[in-house]
Amino acid sequence: MNGEIELSQVTDQLNSGILLLDLQLNIVSWNRFLAVHVNQKLEDVKGKLIFDVFPELPQRWFERKVASVIQLGTPTYCSWEQRHHLFELPHTRPITTDSHFMAQNCSFLPYEQEGKLVGICVLIEDVTDVCHYQSQLKETMKQLELANRIDGLTRIYNRKYWEEALGKEFARAQRYTSELSLIMFDLDHFKKLNDNYGHQCGDLVLIETASRVSSLLRDADVFGRYGGEEFGIVLPQTDQIGALEVAERVRAAISNSPIIFEGKKISFSASVGLATLNSEHKRYEDLISETDSALYRAKSSGRDQICILQKFNKCS
């Protein structure tokens, strides 16, 4: 190979930005990648303060980053996961992203001549594709995680996740000696409703029940489908009196308003069992068992009512 290849002939072919600054942060040079994306020639920006050419830069953050390179004489780095971009450079990818600007990994390198630090070299790597596909992957994983804990029909928590949440709340209540109540309710005569009107009507009743009850609860409450037509509500920081008030609102919300299915009014109701954590409950399953027993008593006592075994030992 004859002749000496100038460095610019190499750097101008890179698909990354190279920006050279002096110690006062004035622009000394940049490569073709930046000239194209900024749409300015080097001679038009050479000698200008970087913040005048790129006003979008977080100045104080950028100055601290550069100062660490100058003081320590070692490189530093900023990834797109820390900051999506530093420089507002439009990406040219034929993909839909959340930003008009390219995602960037930026490296800050000390630039020396004859062993003396004379400037900072900023390398700007376009990682828009990586950012886009990582974001897609995270969203897919989020949806999968949600699908693993949500009941497909009612869109409330499924039994597995609901029981796990109850177990955590049970342990927390025991650890901090705090109140915890559990409500379980079962739709009355649901099999008969399915037999008379079909499973589409039954599904509509389940969906409407979940929607009505969800609107009554706090963010801290955990509402789930325990199985079939049976539901459970975990009530942290709630004593028996408070839980009874919630249970009555739930019962009334279900039984007071029929649904319309194929032009017919369909009335339905629920039987409700309630229990509050006490010293006899050694495991969260004990709390479920007591609540389920109260629910069974509510059904056997005439349905569309609330039963509590402990303390009150009555139905209402």
Strand order in the sheet with 180-187: 222-227, 230-236, 180-187, 270-276, 306-308, 314-315
Whether residue 141 contacts residue 113, with contact meaning beta carbons closer than 8 Å, is answered with no
Residue at token pair 């797109």: 80
Whether residue 105 contacts residue 77, with contact meaning beta carbons closer than 8 Å, is answered with yes
Tell me how far apart the alpha carbons of residues 243 and 201 are, in angstroms, rounded to a whole number.
30
Cα torsion through 241, 246, 249, 255, rounded to 10:
-110
Task: Read off the tokens for 313.
Answer: 């030992």
How far, in Å, are 10, 30, 33, 80, 124 from residue 14 at the CA level? 7, 12, 7, 19, 11
Tell me how far apart the alpha carbons of residues 44 and 219 are, in angstroms, rounded to a whole number.
57
Residues carrying an active site annotation: 229
